[in-house]
Amino acid sequence: MKFFIDTANLEQIKEANDMGVLDGVTTNPSLMAKEGIKGEANCRKHYVDICNIVDGDVSAEVIATDYRGMIREGEELAALHPNIVVKVPCIADGIKAIKYFKGKGIRTNCTLVFSPGQALLAAKAGATYVSPFVGRLDDISSDGIELVEKIVDMYTYYDFKTQVLAASIRSTQHIIQCIEAGADVATCPLSAIKGLLKHPLTDSGLATFLADHERVNA
Ligand code: G3P
């Protein structure tokens, strides 16, 4: 299971990277806007800043929704840094663009995926990653983890090389469920990753070790 952090916040990316378990970063236009980053030049500088923090794949999303625009933007994003993965929405022109990028050796992340059918098209087009949005399905009383399971089963059965990058992760429990579902990657908020560390028996056990040591060595 690879861990990506789902943020454009450099401080959180640095903190997650310092934990020693970070494998990459995903961003999207909303996460970039949340950091107040505006203008093409500033966005591209920010992507390079992220690439200089984390030695792993960094997803940068195109804004264009037409094929020609996606191609132009995607090639410019890919040229910023070898670790840039071009993020493309799962729409008709996006699937077409993913096919084009595959032919050019540009890695892609097909995003805003909510069904097995969308995931099938992304894999057939040659996407490097597919991003099923777990939390947003849960938000409407659907089952986001079940979608991850179905995609993993489909990709395994047909031997697709596209990696399942579970996104819209809202909790530590989502991460555990994605592990059980066989996702290749979970892209998470820092809090969800840090939550994996927490267990009361670890804390109480360590306290006892130290107290016993102190009692004898005081
Ligand atoms: O990478 C996709 C992710 O940022 C979406 O998360 O919480 O907005 O559904 P959320």
87 catalytic? Reply is: yes
Is 14 a residue whose pLDDT tops 90?
yes
Kindly report the average pLDDT of the chain as a whole number.
Answer: 97
Q: Whose CA is nearest to atom 5 of ligand 1?
A: 168
pLDDT the model gives residue 107: 98
What phi-psi label fits residue 108: left (phi over 0), alpha (psi between -120 and 50 degrees) or beta? beta
Q: What is the mean pLDDT of residues 134-145?
A: 97
* Reported pTM: 0.95
What distance in angstroms lies between residue 42's CA and the mean position of ligand 1's atoms? 22
Note whether 143 and 137 are within 8 A (CB).
yes
6, 13, 112: residue to mutate for ligand 1 pocket, most atoms within 8 A of CB: 6
The pLDDT tens digits of the residues spanning 186-214 come to 999 999 999 999 999 999 999 999 999 99
Query: Cα–Cα distances in Å, from 111 out to 157, 172, 212?
Result: 22, 21, 52
Active-site residue, selected from the candidate residues 14, 87, 150, 161: 87
Quick one: pLDDT band at residue 87, thresholds 50, 70, 90? very high
Partners of 165 in beta bridges: 185
Residues 6+ apart with CB under 8 A from 5: 12, 13, 16, 22, 24, 25, 26, 187, 188, 189, 190, 193
Q: Is 108 in the pocket of ligand 1 (CB under 6 A)?
A: no
- What integer pLDDT is reported at residue 106 of this predicted model? 98
- Closest CA to ligand 1's atom 10: 168
Q: Which residue's CA is minimally distant from atom 7 of ligand 1?
A: 168
Task: Label residue 218 by pLDDT band (50, 70, 90).
Answer: confident
**Residue 142, Ramachandran bin (φ over 0: left; ψ between -120 and 50: alpha; else beta):** beta
Cα–Cα distance for residue pair 61/78, rounded to 1 Å: 11
Strand residue runs (E) in the chain:
2-6, 24-26, 57-61, 84-89, 108-113, 129-132, 163-166, 185-188
